[in-house]
Structure 1
Amino acid sequence: MIRLRPTFRRLVAMTAAAGMLALAACSAPAIPDGSAGGTTMVVATSDEPDALNPVLNYGVDGASLIFDGLVARDRDNRLVPGLAADLPTVSPDGRTVTARLRDGVLFHDGTALSAQDVVFTYQAVLDPKVDSTLRSDLDMVESVATTDQATVVFRLRYPYAPFLQRLTLGIVPAKLLAGQDINTAGFNRKPVGTGPYKVESWTPGDRLVLAANERHFGGRPANNRVVVAFVADDNVRAQRMRAGEFDAAELPPKLAAGFDPDAAYKVQRVPTADYRGVMLPMGNPVLADPAVRRALNLAVDRSAMVSGILGGAGDPAFGPVPPTSEFAEPSIVGTPTADVVAASALLDAAGWTPGPGGVRVKDGRPARFALMYPATDTLRKELALAVTADAKKVGIEVTPAGLTWDAIDPRMKSDALLMGYGTPYDPDFISYKLFGSRFAGQGYFNSGSYRSAVVDRALQEGRDQADPARRKAAYAQVQKELAADVPWLFLTYLRHSYVLKSSVQGVTPRVEPHEHGVANSLWWNINTWTRS
């Protein structure tokens, strides 16, 4: 499961950091550019992790740089062996998964990886005393045990088709965490893994410095060090990129576009599964009417959002499965431009008639609701304002509200929320919790309390069946039902934008998930980057 939102603590730290970094941008560079010898790569991101422990949800999709999982993903997001010598095997009944470890893998402190480390890692996630958001992702695991020092056996309560994809979780050394409170362990800030880089230092609100692991089983990184700068403010990050401080930086589309004419830089616009949309709560008396939800779905101009707000770095979204996925259902794709006539006709037929100020009314209730978004997110603000303007054209009054997450939390069951999710991996990973009835009203998963017996059955079928054709049919049904019920107003898929110095070589983009930061993004293979 993805991290749902920044904690209040981190938001405060990032806000303070942005102020300090704005000053730094106007003076000498705060971070050396590493050009001497070309041995240090410096990258900048807006997002700082809360902890560097996979058990606590760091780098669980196998791109953490510090850790390795039993399996990894290649440039096409296909599973390949990681710490496992080969892809783990699955028994005919789908309930026993066996992994055999590579020989000679060492942790950063020089100790040998063993099967017991794998067992400890997964048992820690399953331990209710550990504050891991991953526990529900592994609720199919009945037990995990060793048969010898190099073999791990997972017993599942029920067959779970995408289980091998859950084995990207980074493995931690049992000896450094056994008997400790994992929630507060010093390991979370100074971890020891097996990955291509080891942690040299972490200065909260400023940077994470990684040093090459000379003994990594995949080979020594092509560079000696990686510095990850945490710069919350988009404009400051762009200024510091222009000043030459960074080899690469994550930037919003409009800021990235400013670097296009300059030959000293190159801009990468990476396809993603990262969508933005409006969660429409069933507890809101206006949005509980499916006619209102369907009318909104017709009224929004997705093309204008992509061209205007995203600067072309995106695609219209009509559902939670990205077009790049083999599970995408083409029949749900609608017209990306607004259809005001059809939306108005829907509302007319449902009894929503024009009222004072052009706002429609039904049974004395005006077609009016609030649309929340996190105040610090400029992209979500712009999308919220676009939805507001489009809804007004069909007589629905939307009040945008930029709030802190603490203010958003108690209102999610009654007020709409501009949200973001997305995975390029198995559709079960997010959709099962986002649209399943059993998760209704549980935090940021299914916060709008959507319930559909048809969707529930199809989601369960998708995770139960091993047959690819049956799985594809199940997720096609999920997408069709969501398109008909409109519990979410899907708006756009993003293309993540990065600016790199033209001298940087070896960059290999791949379809990205929703998350940003150290554990994802363009630098998933930074261990291969060089400078010409």
Structure 2
Amino acid sequence: MSARPTRSTSSIRSPRSIRATLAVTLTGALTLGAAACSAPGGGKGAGAGGDAGASAVVGIAYEPETLSPLLGFGKDGNSKIFDGLLALDADMRLKPALAAALPQVSPDGLTYTYKLRQGVTFSDGKPFGAKDVLFTYRTILDPKTNNASRSELDAIKDVKAVGDDTVVFTLKYPYAPFAQRTVLPIAPEHIAGRQDVNSGPFTTKPVGTGPYLLTGWSKGEKISFKANPTYWGGAPAVKKFTMAIIKDDDVRATRLRAGDLDGAILPPNLAAGFKGDKGRKTHAATTYDYRTVTLPTGNKVTGDTAVRRALDVAVDRQTMVDKILEGAGKPAYGPVPTDSEWFTRGTERTHDLTAARKILDDAGWKPGEDGIRVRNGVRAEFPLWYVAGDKLRQDHALAYASDAKKAGISIKTQAGTWEVIEPRMKQDAVLAGGGSPGDPDFDQYLLLTSSLAGDGFNNMAWYDNPVVDKALQDGRKSGDKATRKAAYDTVQRELAKNPGYTFLTHIDHLYVVNDTWEPLTTQVEPHDHGLAAGPWWNVEDWAPKK
């Protein structure tokens, strides 16, 4: 789950980000000047009169904390600068990338053998080979490396090379989704291996095998790329690509309307303002992206299971979908979307204020003179933080507080930067986000495992449930799908009985983009959005419309 789309990237993905993948680092309104929102060549985006086939400028809400895959950048694919052994296509199916084919898997599920693509070079001209794969995985698994997502590779027992064209992974247990983990970008051993992995220049000036080369990173403003002319997949037609980092939703919409941007991710109410614009199209992506409220066990109010249960049924999820998302999403009852094959039917929670009040009454939380409940001198009140400038989080927080008040619980919503919020997470609730497509292990393990409580943005609620811990291990270590389904069913039923979070909605991402290129598609997206996802997930394949 990634509260901040920068650090792990989806958010609760890693200790440094609830999806430390591309987590959020900045907050507040960020207004970019003409230079910040313009294409690298100095002109405005293609939709504003620039060279339509040559450049594209898109507005995103978050930026990464690093550009090194050794520290978590691009771990879920689509990094633009790098490639993994495998990649995901438009339908989220695995396809070869730096590997020449999908891996050969042993019958016991413990050995994965990858034949590597030949003739691939890094952007500095040096050849790619097995040594780079070994270096990347071994470095990430090294405890001295500050990679918050190391536990995602826990199944690896050993990785070795057979010649320079074959890599063999040996696993400790038959980790079913292992191949999906190998979309992880590969770093060059000859560069990154000769400097401090945690602080060396490679963290901000990377060299990879991907379709684009980094030309500049003005933190808080933009990340600029140019096409890699020697890319093994063919040189991209979009020669210059810029991601303008615009934290504030309203500012992003204004810049798009002004022509400074060729595309942007927008919340539903702002995307609706472009509906009649013939020069732009809105692209909707279904996602695993959820919004949730962390309920820290260390807080005297949210630490009470009765309060958590009451909030779980007091919240009106469908109204949030209808009013806040304008229908672009669905109610969330846990990290797994209701339309996923992994969702456990019967764990939906009905909005029921009467039931919420009875739960609190039975637990001894009695209404005070102002209607707010009190037990043993403790007032049913707690703060709820959200990231400033994020309208969707703000709207979810306000709606949640309104629903809670009807049950007699007072929630004080507050906006702040992550620098303000992070030190308070053990005691204060946070309107967080997360979600990762694919295997349920990807999100649930980091979100709920008690051993990761307080580990940065992992398990932000300090959730501690031995039944869930065991089920998560069973789901992670079994290669049998039926066994795994039973394990994750157990997790979801336990969350219904003892919720450590109040899950609110799963959100469809909306992107408004100039109708200049083709083909534009979207994938099923993680929480992290805008940088690795969006219609520009495959910008290297775009061509000018004829």
TM-score normalized by the length of structure 2: 0.90
Larger RCO, structure (CA 8 Å, separation 6 or more): 2
State how far apart, in whole Å, the 1-side matches of 2:389 and 2:431 are.
13
* Per-residue CA distance 1:78-123 (angstroms, 9 max, x = gap): 2111111111122233332221101222211222211001001111
Report the residue type matching 1:182 in the other structure: V
Query: Does the alignment pair 1:169 with 2:184?
Result: yes
Query: SS state of the match for residue 123, structure 2?
Result: coil
Assess if the C-alpha contact under 8 Å between 1:59 and 1:520 holds in 2: no
State how far apart, in whole Å, the 1-side matches of 2:517 and 2:481 are.
40
Assess if the C-alpha contact under 8 Å between 1:21 and 1:231 holds in 2: no
Tell which deviates more after alignment, 80-89 or 129-138: 129-138
Aligned with 2:429 (options 408, 416, 428) = 416
Aligned with 1:446 (options 459, 463, 487) = 459
Q: Structure 1: where are the runs of 5+ without partners?
A: none
State how far apart, in whole Å, the 1-side matches of 2:24 and 2:225 are.
24
Aligned with 1:218 (options 233, 241, 265) = 233
Query: SS state of the match for residue 247, structure 2?
Result: coil
State how far apart, in whole Å, the 1-side matches of 2:26 and 2:43 are.
19
Map 1:113-512; keep pairs closer than 5 Å.
113-335=128-350, 338-512=351-525
Give aligned-pair identity as a percent.
48
Assess if the C-alpha contact under 8 Å between 2:343 and 2:489 holds in 1: yes
* Per-residue CA distance 1:28-60 (angstroms, 9 max, x = gap): x96422443622222221212222211111111
Report the residue type matching 1:310 in the other structure: L
Aligned with 2:534 (options 492, 503, 521) = 521
State how far apart, in whole Å, the 2-side matches of 1:517 and 1:257 are.
18
Change (3 A) 1:24 1:407: closer
Query: Does the alignment pair 1:50 with 2:65?
Result: yes
Q: How far has the Cα of 1:24 moved from its partner?
A: 7.7
* Per-residue CA distance 1:298-343 (angstroms, 9 max, x = gap): 11111221222223222111111123432122221233xx321221
Change (3 A) 1:179 1:110: closer
Change (3 A) 1:397 1:473: same
State how far apart, in whole Å, the 2-side matches of 1:15 and 1:343 are.
35
Assess if the C-alpha contact under 8 Å between 2:58 and 2:244 holds in 1: yes
Assess if the C-alpha contact under 8 Å between 1:49 and 1:517 holds in 2: no
Query: SS state of the match for residue 36, structure 1?
Result: coil
Q: Residue 33 of structure 1 aligns with which residue?
A: 45
Query: SS state of the match for residue 420, structure 1?
Result: strand
Query: SS state of the match for residue 272, structure 1?
Result: coil
Q: How far has the Cα of 1:219 moved from its partner?
A: 2.7
Change (3 A) 1:458 1:13: closer
Report the residue type matching 2:358 in the other structure: A
Q: How far has the Cα of 1:172 moved from its partner?
A: 1.2
State how far apart, in whole Å, the 2-side matches of 1:183 and 1:321 are.
33
Report the residue type matching 2:489 in the other structure: A
Change (3 A) 1:20 1:511: closer
Aligned with 2:102 (options 87, 90, 96) = 87
Q: How far has the Cα of 1:20 moved from its partner?
A: 4.4
Change (3 A) 1:149 1:78: same
Assess if the C-alpha contact under 8 Å between 1:14 and 1:231 holds in 2: no
State how far apart, in whole Å, the 2-side matches of 1:363 and 1:232 are.
43
Assess if the C-alpha contact under 8 Å between 2:295 and 2:302 holds in 1: yes
Change (3 A) 1:253 1:437: same
State how far apart, in whole Å, the 2-side matches of 1:293 and 1:494 are.
23
Q: How far has the Cα of 1:294 moved from its partner?
A: 1.4
Query: SS state of the match for residue 33, structure 2?
Result: helix
Change (3 A) 1:387 1:266: same
Report the residue type matching 2:310 in the other structure: A
State how far apart, in whole Å, the 2-side matches of 1:37 and 1:301 are.
45
Report the residue type matching 2:279 in the other structure: A
Assess if the C-alpha contact under 8 Å between 1:41 and 1:227 holds in 2: yes
State how far apart, in whole Å, the 2-side matches of 1:219 and 1:100 are.
21
Assess if the C-alpha contact under 8 Å between 2:247 and 2:389 holds in 1: no
Change (3 A) 1:509 1:517: closer
Query: SS state of the match for residue 332, structure 1?
Result: coil
Change (3 A) 1:206 1:58: same
Q: How far has the Cα of 1:296 moved from its partner?
A: 0.9
TM-score normalized by the length of structure 1: 0.92
Query: SS state of the match for residue 56, structure 2?
Result: strand
Residues matched between the structures, number = 525
Q: How far has the Cα of 1:212 moved from its partner?
A: 2.0
Assess if the C-alpha contact under 8 Å between 1:25 and 1:236 holds in 2: no
Structure with the higher fraction of residues in helix conformation: 1
* Per-residue CA distance 1:252-307 (angstroms, 9 max, x = gap): 22111100122221111211111011111122222233222111111111122122
Report the residue type matching 2:33 in the other structure: L
Assess if the C-alpha contact under 8 Å between 1:21 and 1:236 holds in 2: no
Q: Structure 2: where are the runs of 5+ without partners?
A: 1-7, 10-15
Q: How far has the Cα of 1:458 moved from its partner?
A: 1.1
Query: SS state of the match for residue 217, structure 2?
Result: strand
Assess if the C-alpha contact under 8 Å between 1:90 and 1:97 holds in 2: yes
Change (3 A) 1:255 1:349: same
Q: Residue 82 of structure 2 aligns with which residue?
A: 67
Q: How far has the Cα of 1:168 moved from its partner?
A: 0.7
* Per-residue CA distance 1:361-419 (angstroms, 9 max, x = gap): 23333322222223343322221111111111111112222233233233322222211
Assess if the C-alpha contact under 8 Å between 2:115 and 2:167 holds in 1: yes
